[in-house]
Structure 1
Amino acid sequence: MVVDAIALSAVALALLAAVIGSEARLSRLDKRLKRIEHKLDLLAGHLDVRADDPGLDEVAALVRDGRTIEAIKKYRDVTGAGLREAKEAVERMGAR
């Protein structure tokens, strides 16, 4: 009985360590991906290259209409971005 509890605890700790390690790795990958996307955005801006995405046209229309929260939600749906990234992108659209 005690041996089973110890074994179960050991398995739980191993699983917890694996999850924590995976989350740390995903966090590092997410940061790298954001840096790469930022560099691509800078290059595209420098070269005046625009990506045509019908969903982003709808986001821009919502921004023009002053419907910022809806624009942020739509941006997240279209791009899969997080809340902060979507908010910053919509704010940049409004500044144009």
Structure 2
Amino acid sequence: MTPDERIEELEREVARLREQVGVLYKHLGIGQLAAASSGPNPAIVDAIRSGQIIVAIKLYREQTGAGLKEAKDAVEDLARTLR
């Protein structure tokens, strides 16, 4: 594995872990704190705003490693906050 590939892998892992922490914050009822600390991914927000929900879900899954249902729920939650 090249150093660049390793860096990309680590960046994906950090993003996935950040999202899991956000899910835990939300589960514990402190979701606003999690949202304020990192904010949503701009590419996902752009996809939602342009009506490309499937693309947003795909981006979310790539970023976080989440399953399909978790990603769909998270993107739908974000979409509701953007309205």
TM-score by length of 2: 0.58
Aligned-pair identity in percent equals: 32
CA distance in 2, matches of 1:47, 1:79: 15
Equivalent AA in structure 1 for residue 67 of structure 2 = G
1:29 maps to none
1:88 to 54, 57, 73: 73
Deviations 1:42-88 (A, max 9, x none): 324158623146xx110111000000001100000011111001000
SS in 1 for 2:38: coil
Query: Which has the larger Rg?
Result: 1
- Alignment size in residue pairs: 60
Q: Unaligned regions of 5+ residues in structure 2, if any?
A: 1-19
2:36 maps to 49
Q: Unaligned regions of 5+ residues in structure 1, if any?
A: 1-33
Name the structure, 1 or 2, with higher relative contact order (CA <8 Å, separation 6+).
Answer: 2
Equivalent AA in structure 1 for residue 38 of structure 2 = A
The alignment's C-alpha RMSD in Å is 2.5
SS in 2 for 1:81: coil
Matched, 1:68 2:53: yes
Contact 2:22 2:35 in 1 (8 A): no
Contact 1:62 1:68 in 2 (8 A): yes
CA distance in 2, matches of 1:47, 1:85: 17
User: 1:27-42 to 2 correspondence within 5 Å?
Assistant: 38-41=23-26, 42=29
Structure 1 residues 61 and 78: alpha-carbon distance in aligned structure 2, compared to 1, 3 A threshold: same
